Amino acid sequence: MKEWMFVLFRLIVYASMIGIQYYFYRRAKNLLPEFAKPLQKNLLNTLFPLFNVPLIVLVFWRPDFDELPQWLILTGVYPFYIWHFSFFLMFLLVLIGQLIRLPFLSLKWISLRINKSQRLTNFDKSDSAAKLNRQRRIFLRKSATILAGAVFTGTAYNAYRRQDCEITEVTIPVKNLPTEFEGFFIALISDIHSSVFMTKDDMSRYAEAVNSLKADLIAVPGDFVNSSVDEVYPFAEAFSVLKAPYGVYGVLGNHDYYTRKVDIVAKYVDECGILLLRNDRVEIQKENQMLDLVGVDDVGSNRRAEQLFDTSLAGTDHKTPKILLCHRPYFFEQAAKRNIALTLSGHTHGGQIVFAHVGNDIIAPARVISPYVAGLYSLGDSHMYVSRGIGTVGVPIRINCPPEITKITLIKAPSI
Protein backbone atom coordinates (compact mmCIF):
# COMPACT_ATOMS: atom_id res chain seq x y z
CA MET A 1 0.00 0.00 0.00
CA LYS A 2 1.36 3.43 -0.94
CA GLU A 3 2.29 5.94 1.76
CA TRP A 4 -0.52 8.36 0.86
CA MET A 5 -3.03 5.53 1.26
CA PHE A 6 -1.68 4.80 4.74
CA VAL A 7 -2.04 8.49 5.60
CA LEU A 8 -5.60 8.59 4.22
CA PHE A 9 -6.55 5.45 6.15
CA ARG A 10 -5.12 6.83 9.38
CA LEU A 11 -6.84 10.16 8.74
CA ILE A 12 -10.25 8.47 8.42
CA VAL A 13 -9.72 6.28 11.49
CA TYR A 14 -8.40 9.06 13.70
CA ALA A 15 -11.03 11.55 12.53
CA SER A 16 -13.69 9.03 13.55
CA MET A 17 -12.01 8.57 16.93
CA ILE A 18 -11.85 12.32 17.52
CA GLY A 19 -15.51 12.59 16.50
CA ILE A 20 -16.44 9.97 19.09
CA GLN A 21 -14.38 11.83 21.69
CA TYR A 22 -16.11 15.13 20.90
CA TYR A 23 -19.52 13.49 21.18
CA PHE A 24 -18.77 12.23 24.68
CA TYR A 25 -17.07 15.47 25.66
CA ARG A 26 -20.25 17.43 24.85
CA ARG A 27 -22.41 14.86 26.63
CA ALA A 28 -20.18 15.00 29.70
CA LYS A 29 -20.29 18.81 29.81
CA ASN A 30 -24.08 18.80 29.53
CA LEU A 31 -24.40 16.28 32.34
CA LEU A 32 -22.17 18.20 34.75
CA PRO A 33 -24.29 19.84 37.45
CA GLU A 34 -24.47 23.63 37.44
CA PHE A 35 -22.73 23.62 40.83
CA ALA A 36 -19.87 21.41 39.62
CA LYS A 37 -16.55 22.20 41.26
CA PRO A 38 -13.83 23.85 39.15
CA LEU A 39 -11.72 20.71 39.57
CA GLN A 40 -14.33 18.63 37.75
CA LYS A 41 -14.56 21.10 34.88
CA ASN A 42 -10.78 21.48 34.63
CA LEU A 43 -10.31 17.71 34.65
CA LEU A 44 -12.80 17.33 31.81
CA ASN A 45 -11.19 20.13 29.81
CA THR A 46 -7.72 18.66 30.33
CA LEU A 47 -8.18 14.93 29.74
CA PHE A 48 -9.92 15.13 26.39
CA PRO A 49 -7.27 17.33 24.70
CA LEU A 50 -4.50 15.36 26.41
CA PHE A 51 -5.60 12.08 24.82
CA ASN A 52 -6.72 13.53 21.48
CA VAL A 53 -3.94 15.88 20.40
CA PRO A 54 -1.62 12.84 19.87
CA LEU A 55 -4.14 11.48 17.35
CA ILE A 56 -3.59 14.49 15.10
CA VAL A 57 0.17 13.92 15.25
CA LEU A 58 -0.21 10.20 14.50
CA VAL A 59 -1.99 10.91 11.22
CA PHE A 60 1.28 12.08 9.69
CA TRP A 61 3.90 10.42 11.89
CA ARG A 62 4.36 6.80 12.95
CA PRO A 63 6.63 6.81 16.01
CA ASP A 64 8.97 3.95 16.80
CA PHE A 65 7.59 2.80 20.15
CA ASP A 66 10.51 0.38 20.48
CA GLU A 67 12.76 3.31 21.32
CA LEU A 68 10.58 4.42 24.23
CA PRO A 69 11.56 3.44 27.79
CA GLN A 70 9.38 0.80 29.40
CA TRP A 71 8.14 3.18 32.10
CA LEU A 72 6.76 5.54 29.43
CA ILE A 73 5.07 2.67 27.59
CA LEU A 74 3.36 1.58 30.81
CA THR A 75 2.36 5.08 31.93
CA GLY A 76 1.67 6.66 28.54
CA VAL A 77 1.15 4.26 25.64
CA TYR A 78 -1.06 1.73 27.45
CA PRO A 79 -3.35 4.41 28.99
CA PHE A 80 -3.64 6.03 25.53
CA TYR A 81 -4.93 2.79 23.98
CA ILE A 82 -7.16 1.98 26.96
CA TRP A 83 -8.70 5.46 26.85
CA HIS A 84 -9.59 5.37 23.16
CA PHE A 85 -10.75 1.77 23.06
CA SER A 86 -12.97 2.36 26.10
CA PHE A 87 -14.68 5.27 24.41
CA PHE A 88 -15.08 3.22 21.24
CA LEU A 89 -16.83 0.49 23.26
CA MET A 90 -19.05 3.05 24.99
CA PHE A 91 -19.98 4.51 21.61
CA LEU A 92 -20.99 1.05 20.41
CA LEU A 93 -23.11 0.54 23.53
CA VAL A 94 -24.80 3.92 23.08
CA LEU A 95 -25.40 3.20 19.39
CA ILE A 96 -26.94 -0.19 20.19
CA GLY A 97 -29.10 1.45 22.85
CA GLN A 98 -30.34 4.07 20.40
CA LEU A 99 -31.14 1.41 17.80
CA ILE A 100 -33.16 -0.49 20.41
CA ARG A 101 -35.03 2.70 21.35
CA LEU A 102 -35.74 3.67 17.76
CA PRO A 103 -38.95 1.60 17.29
CA PHE A 104 -40.37 2.91 20.58
CA LEU A 105 -39.52 6.52 19.71
CA SER A 106 -41.16 6.03 16.33
CA LEU A 107 -44.34 4.72 17.99
CA LYS A 108 -44.32 7.67 20.39
CA TRP A 109 -43.93 10.14 17.51
CA ILE A 110 -46.79 8.50 15.60
CA SER A 111 -48.98 8.55 18.71
CA LEU A 112 -48.34 12.26 19.27
CA ARG A 113 -49.10 13.04 15.65
CA ILE A 114 -52.43 11.21 15.89
CA ASN A 115 -53.41 12.63 19.27
CA LYS A 116 -52.32 16.26 18.95
CA SER A 117 -54.77 17.31 21.61
CA GLN A 118 -52.97 15.17 24.18
CA ARG A 119 -49.61 16.92 23.84
CA LEU A 120 -48.19 17.96 27.19
CA THR A 121 -47.36 21.54 26.23
CA ASN A 122 -48.58 23.06 29.44
CA PHE A 123 -47.04 20.32 31.55
CA ASP A 124 -43.61 21.00 30.05
CA LYS A 125 -43.70 24.51 31.50
CA SER A 126 -44.72 23.44 35.00
CA ASP A 127 -42.62 23.03 38.12
CA SER A 128 -43.30 19.29 37.96
CA ALA A 129 -41.65 19.12 34.55
CA ALA A 130 -38.59 21.02 35.78
CA LYS A 131 -38.28 18.66 38.74
CA LEU A 132 -38.66 15.67 36.41
CA ASN A 133 -35.91 17.03 34.15
CA ARG A 134 -33.57 17.49 37.13
CA GLN A 135 -34.20 13.91 38.25
CA ARG A 136 -33.60 12.69 34.71
CA ARG A 137 -30.26 14.55 34.53
CA ILE A 138 -29.18 13.06 37.85
CA PHE A 139 -30.14 9.58 36.67
CA LEU A 140 -28.28 10.02 33.36
CA ARG A 141 -25.21 11.40 35.15
CA LYS A 142 -25.05 8.45 37.54
CA SER A 143 -25.71 5.96 34.74
CA ALA A 144 -22.97 7.51 32.59
CA THR A 145 -20.52 7.39 35.50
CA ILE A 146 -21.27 3.72 36.18
CA LEU A 147 -21.05 2.82 32.47
CA ALA A 148 -17.75 4.66 31.99
CA GLY A 149 -16.29 3.16 35.14
CA ALA A 150 -17.30 -0.36 34.13
CA VAL A 151 -15.97 -0.01 30.56
CA PHE A 152 -12.65 1.57 31.60
CA THR A 153 -12.11 -0.99 34.35
CA GLY A 154 -12.97 -3.88 32.04
CA THR A 155 -10.72 -2.59 29.26
CA ALA A 156 -7.77 -2.09 31.62
CA TYR A 157 -8.33 -5.54 33.11
CA ASN A 158 -8.37 -7.20 29.69
CA ALA A 159 -5.23 -5.30 28.67
CA TYR A 160 -3.54 -6.61 31.82
CA ARG A 161 -4.71 -10.19 31.14
CA ARG A 162 -3.98 -10.22 27.41
CA GLN A 163 -1.17 -12.75 27.91
CA ASP A 164 -3.04 -15.26 30.09
CA CYS A 165 -2.34 -18.09 27.68
CA GLU A 166 -4.37 -21.30 27.37
CA ILE A 167 -3.06 -24.67 26.20
CA THR A 168 -5.70 -26.13 23.87
CA GLU A 169 -5.67 -29.84 23.05
CA VAL A 170 -7.29 -31.22 19.91
CA THR A 171 -7.22 -34.61 18.21
CA ILE A 172 -7.56 -34.66 14.42
CA PRO A 173 -8.32 -37.75 12.31
CA VAL A 174 -6.22 -37.95 9.14
CA LYS A 175 -7.16 -40.13 6.19
CA ASN A 176 -4.43 -42.59 5.15
CA LEU A 177 -2.28 -41.63 8.12
CA PRO A 178 0.61 -44.12 8.34
CA THR A 179 0.63 -46.22 11.49
CA GLU A 180 4.04 -44.78 12.37
CA PHE A 181 2.46 -41.31 12.69
CA GLU A 182 -0.38 -42.43 14.95
CA GLY A 183 -0.25 -40.04 17.93
CA PHE A 184 2.13 -37.63 16.17
CA PHE A 185 2.03 -34.39 18.14
CA ILE A 186 2.27 -30.90 16.61
CA ALA A 187 2.59 -27.74 18.74
CA LEU A 188 0.98 -24.74 17.05
CA ILE A 189 1.83 -21.15 18.03
CA SER A 190 0.88 -18.24 15.80
CA ASP A 191 0.71 -14.46 15.45
CA ILE A 192 3.47 -13.50 17.84
CA HIS A 193 3.56 -9.84 16.76
CA SER A 194 6.88 -8.92 18.30
CA SER A 195 6.53 -5.29 19.44
CA VAL A 196 6.48 -3.10 22.54
CA PHE A 197 3.37 -5.06 23.54
CA MET A 198 5.14 -8.40 23.03
CA THR A 199 8.62 -7.99 24.46
CA LYS A 200 11.58 -10.33 24.29
CA ASP A 201 10.86 -11.50 27.86
CA ASP A 202 7.22 -12.19 26.95
CA MET A 203 8.27 -14.17 23.88
CA SER A 204 10.86 -16.13 25.85
CA ARG A 205 8.14 -17.30 28.24
CA TYR A 206 6.00 -18.46 25.33
CA ALA A 207 8.93 -20.24 23.69
CA GLU A 208 9.71 -22.10 26.90
CA ALA A 209 6.03 -23.02 27.25
CA VAL A 210 6.06 -24.53 23.75
CA ASN A 211 9.27 -26.47 24.47
CA SER A 212 7.78 -27.82 27.70
CA LEU A 213 5.08 -29.59 25.65
CA LYS A 214 7.76 -31.79 24.01
CA ALA A 215 6.07 -31.81 20.61
CA ASP A 216 7.23 -33.94 17.71
CA LEU A 217 7.01 -30.91 15.41
CA ILE A 218 6.41 -27.18 15.97
CA ALA A 219 4.46 -25.00 13.51
CA VAL A 220 4.50 -21.18 13.48
CA PRO A 221 2.21 -19.90 10.70
CA GLY A 222 3.24 -16.27 10.44
CA ASP A 223 3.12 -12.73 11.81
CA PHE A 224 6.42 -12.96 13.63
CA VAL A 225 6.55 -9.15 13.83
CA ASN A 226 4.00 -6.35 13.94
CA SER A 227 5.10 -3.71 11.44
CA SER A 228 8.81 -2.90 11.85
CA VAL A 229 11.77 -4.94 10.62
CA ASP A 230 13.60 -4.15 13.88
CA GLU A 231 11.03 -6.25 15.73
CA VAL A 232 12.46 -9.44 14.22
CA TYR A 233 15.67 -9.24 16.26
CA PRO A 234 14.12 -9.78 19.73
CA PHE A 235 11.82 -12.38 18.17
CA ALA A 236 14.76 -14.32 16.74
CA GLU A 237 16.60 -14.24 20.07
CA ALA A 238 13.59 -15.41 22.05
CA PHE A 239 12.42 -18.14 19.69
CA SER A 240 15.86 -19.53 18.87
CA VAL A 241 15.35 -21.96 21.77
CA LEU A 242 12.48 -23.82 20.04
CA LYS A 243 13.36 -27.47 19.54
CA ALA A 244 11.45 -30.48 18.21
CA PRO A 245 12.65 -33.90 16.94
CA TYR A 246 11.02 -33.45 13.53
CA GLY A 247 11.76 -29.75 13.19
CA VAL A 248 10.35 -26.25 13.64
CA TYR A 249 8.61 -24.80 10.57
CA GLY A 250 6.90 -21.56 9.70
CA VAL A 251 5.43 -19.37 6.97
CA LEU A 252 5.26 -15.61 6.52
CA GLY A 253 2.17 -13.61 7.50
CA ASN A 254 0.77 -10.32 6.26
CA HIS A 255 2.39 -8.28 9.04
CA ASP A 256 5.78 -9.67 8.08
CA TYR A 257 5.19 -8.12 4.67
CA TYR A 258 4.06 -4.82 6.21
CA THR A 259 7.69 -4.21 7.22
CA ARG A 260 8.48 -3.75 3.49
CA LYS A 261 11.68 -5.66 4.25
CA VAL A 262 10.25 -9.16 4.29
CA ASP A 263 13.50 -10.78 3.12
CA ILE A 264 15.30 -9.48 6.21
CA VAL A 265 12.50 -10.82 8.41
CA ALA A 266 12.71 -14.17 6.62
CA LYS A 267 16.50 -14.29 6.99
CA TYR A 268 16.47 -13.85 10.77
CA VAL A 269 13.51 -16.18 11.26
CA ASP A 270 15.35 -18.87 9.29
CA GLU A 271 18.60 -18.29 11.15
CA CYS A 272 16.92 -18.59 14.55
CA GLY A 273 15.96 -22.17 13.72
CA ILE A 274 12.47 -21.81 12.25
CA LEU A 275 12.65 -23.22 8.72
CA LEU A 276 10.44 -21.06 6.52
CA LEU A 277 8.49 -22.85 3.81
CA ARG A 278 8.11 -20.24 1.09
CA ASN A 279 5.84 -21.92 -1.43
CA ASP A 280 7.71 -25.11 -0.76
CA ARG A 281 7.36 -28.45 1.01
CA VAL A 282 9.39 -30.89 3.06
CA GLU A 283 8.98 -34.60 3.69
CA ILE A 284 8.56 -35.51 7.34
CA GLN A 285 9.87 -39.06 7.61
CA LYS A 286 9.31 -41.44 10.48
CA GLU A 287 10.85 -44.86 10.07
CA ASN A 288 9.91 -45.77 6.49
CA GLN A 289 6.74 -43.63 6.23
CA MET A 290 6.18 -40.01 5.30
CA LEU A 291 4.00 -36.90 5.60
CA ASP A 292 4.21 -33.89 3.27
CA LEU A 293 4.48 -30.55 5.07
CA VAL A 294 3.61 -27.71 2.70
CA GLY A 295 3.98 -23.99 3.34
CA VAL A 296 2.96 -20.90 1.36
CA ASP A 297 3.72 -17.20 1.73
CA ASP A 298 0.86 -14.96 2.78
CA VAL A 299 -1.53 -14.58 -0.14
CA GLY A 300 -4.17 -11.96 -0.85
CA SER A 301 -6.65 -13.60 -3.21
CA ASN A 302 -8.26 -16.95 -3.99
CA ARG A 303 -6.61 -17.08 -7.39
CA ARG A 304 -3.17 -16.40 -5.95
CA ALA A 305 -3.75 -19.01 -3.24
CA GLU A 306 -4.64 -21.64 -5.81
CA GLN A 307 -1.52 -20.85 -7.83
CA LEU A 308 0.75 -21.18 -4.80
CA PHE A 309 -0.98 -24.37 -3.63
CA ASP A 310 -0.52 -25.99 -7.04
CA THR A 311 3.13 -24.90 -7.25
CA SER A 312 3.93 -26.20 -3.77
CA LEU A 313 2.09 -29.50 -4.28
CA ALA A 314 3.61 -30.27 -7.68
CA GLY A 315 5.14 -33.74 -7.78
CA THR A 316 3.60 -35.02 -4.54
CA ASP A 317 1.99 -38.44 -4.19
CA HIS A 318 -1.76 -37.99 -3.75
CA LYS A 319 -1.80 -40.91 -1.28
CA THR A 320 0.64 -39.20 1.10
CA PRO A 321 -1.17 -37.16 3.81
CA LYS A 322 -0.44 -33.46 3.51
CA ILE A 323 -0.29 -30.75 6.16
CA LEU A 324 -0.47 -27.13 4.98
CA LEU A 325 0.86 -24.05 6.77
CA CYS A 326 -1.04 -21.01 5.47
CA HIS A 327 -1.23 -17.82 7.51
CA ARG A 328 -4.75 -16.80 6.53
CA PRO A 329 -7.59 -19.30 6.99
CA TYR A 330 -9.68 -17.85 4.16
CA PHE A 331 -8.52 -20.44 1.61
CA PHE A 332 -9.72 -23.59 3.35
CA GLU A 333 -12.05 -24.58 0.51
CA GLN A 334 -9.18 -24.40 -1.99
CA ALA A 335 -7.03 -26.53 0.29
CA ALA A 336 -9.80 -29.10 0.77
CA LYS A 337 -10.23 -29.44 -3.00
CA ARG A 338 -6.56 -30.41 -3.20
CA ASN A 339 -6.92 -33.16 -0.59
CA ILE A 340 -4.97 -31.30 2.10
CA ALA A 341 -5.56 -33.39 5.21
CA LEU A 342 -4.84 -30.60 7.70
CA THR A 343 -4.41 -26.84 7.33
CA LEU A 344 -2.83 -24.85 10.17
CA SER A 345 -3.57 -21.11 10.18
CA GLY A 346 -3.74 -18.02 12.36
CA HIS A 347 -4.25 -14.39 11.33
CA THR A 348 -7.64 -13.78 12.98
CA HIS A 349 -6.41 -13.82 16.60
CA GLY A 350 -9.61 -15.72 17.33
CA GLY A 351 -11.40 -12.40 16.88
CA GLN A 352 -9.29 -10.74 19.63
CA ILE A 353 -12.30 -8.62 20.59
CA VAL A 354 -15.19 -11.04 21.12
CA PHE A 355 -18.42 -9.55 22.42
CA ALA A 356 -20.17 -12.86 23.06
CA HIS A 357 -20.08 -16.60 22.45
CA VAL A 358 -23.26 -18.05 20.94
CA GLY A 359 -23.03 -21.82 20.88
CA ASN A 360 -20.03 -22.66 18.72
CA ASP A 361 -20.09 -19.24 17.08
CA ILE A 362 -18.99 -15.80 18.24
CA ILE A 363 -20.11 -12.20 17.91
CA ALA A 364 -17.01 -10.30 16.82
CA PRO A 365 -15.91 -7.94 14.03
CA ALA A 366 -13.63 -10.70 12.66
CA ARG A 367 -16.67 -12.93 12.16
CA VAL A 368 -18.03 -10.49 9.56
CA ILE A 369 -14.93 -11.02 7.40
CA SER A 370 -14.77 -14.81 7.49
CA PRO A 371 -16.57 -17.85 8.91
CA TYR A 372 -13.15 -19.21 9.92
CA VAL A 373 -12.11 -17.35 13.07
CA ALA A 374 -10.93 -19.82 15.69
CA GLY A 375 -10.75 -23.53 16.37
CA LEU A 376 -11.35 -26.64 14.28
CA TYR A 377 -13.23 -26.72 10.96
CA SER A 378 -13.90 -29.65 8.64
CA LEU A 379 -14.85 -30.14 4.99
CA GLY A 380 -15.16 -33.82 4.16
CA ASP A 381 -11.84 -35.48 4.99
CA SER A 382 -10.04 -32.14 5.20
CA HIS A 383 -9.59 -30.27 8.48
CA MET A 384 -8.30 -26.84 9.47
CA TYR A 385 -7.27 -25.48 12.84
CA VAL A 386 -7.22 -21.69 13.25
CA SER A 387 -5.09 -20.56 16.18
CA ARG A 388 -6.11 -17.60 18.33
CA GLY A 389 -2.42 -16.70 18.37
CA ILE A 390 -0.59 -15.03 21.24
CA GLY A 391 -0.12 -11.42 20.10
CA THR A 392 -2.45 -8.50 19.52
CA VAL A 393 -2.91 -5.97 16.74
CA GLY A 394 -4.48 -2.52 16.76
CA VAL A 395 -4.95 -2.36 20.51
CA PRO A 396 -3.04 -4.38 23.15
CA ILE A 397 -6.27 -5.86 24.45
CA ARG A 398 -8.09 -9.19 24.22
CA ILE A 399 -11.71 -9.62 25.28
CA ASN A 400 -13.24 -13.09 25.72
CA CYS A 401 -10.40 -14.41 23.57
CA PRO A 402 -7.30 -15.52 25.48
CA PRO A 403 -4.10 -16.33 23.58
CA GLU A 404 -3.43 -19.99 22.95
CA ILE A 405 -0.82 -22.61 22.22
CA THR A 406 -2.35 -25.68 20.62
CA LYS A 407 -1.45 -29.35 21.08
CA ILE A 408 -2.58 -31.19 17.95
CA THR A 409 -2.51 -34.98 17.99
CA LEU A 410 -2.90 -36.87 14.72
CA ILE A 411 -4.81 -40.15 14.62
CA LYS A 412 -5.80 -42.38 11.75
CA ALA A 413 -9.27 -41.63 10.41
CA PRO A 414 -11.57 -44.66 10.56
CA SER A 415 -12.06 -46.45 7.25
CA ILE A 416 -15.55 -46.23 5.76
| pLDDT tier for residue 186 given thresholds of 50, 70 and 90 | very high
Q: What does the alpha-carbon distance between residue 225 and residue 63 come to, in Å, rounded to a whole number? A: 16
**Band of the pLDDT at 188, cuts 50, 70, 90?**
very high
3-state secondary structure of 365: helix
- For 378-402, write each residue's pLDDT tens digit: 999 999 999 999 999 989 999 999 9
The full DSSP string for 266-295 is HHHHHHTT-EE-SSEEEEEEETTEEEEEEE
Are the CB atoms for 344 and 331 separated by under 8 Å? no
pLDDT (0 to 100) of residue 126: 54
Q: Which helix (H) or strand (E) holds 40?
A: helix 38-60
Domain ranges of the chain: 3-160, 166-412
**Average of per-residue pLDDT across 69-94:** 87
Angle at the Cα of 365 from the Cα atoms of 93 and 300, rounded to 5 degrees: 155
Name the more confident of 45 and 285: 285
Per-residue pLDDT tens digits for 317-347: 889 999 999 999 999 999 999 999 999 999 9
CATH class of 166-412: alpha beta
pTM of the model: 0.85
Q: What is the rounded average pLDDT of the residues 167-171?
A: 98
Mean pLDDT on 228-242: 97
Band of residue 46 on the pLDDT scale cut at 50, 70, 90: confident
Who contacts 376 (Cβ-Cβ below 8 Å, separation ≥6)? Answer: 170, 172, 383, 384, 385
**CA separation for the pair 52, 55 (Å, rounded):** 5
Reported as a single tens digit per residue, the pLDDT across 266-306 is: 999 999 999 999 999 999 999 989 999 999 999 777 888 89
pLDDT of residue 129: 55
From the CB of residue 380, how many other CB atoms can be counted at a distance below 10 Å?
9
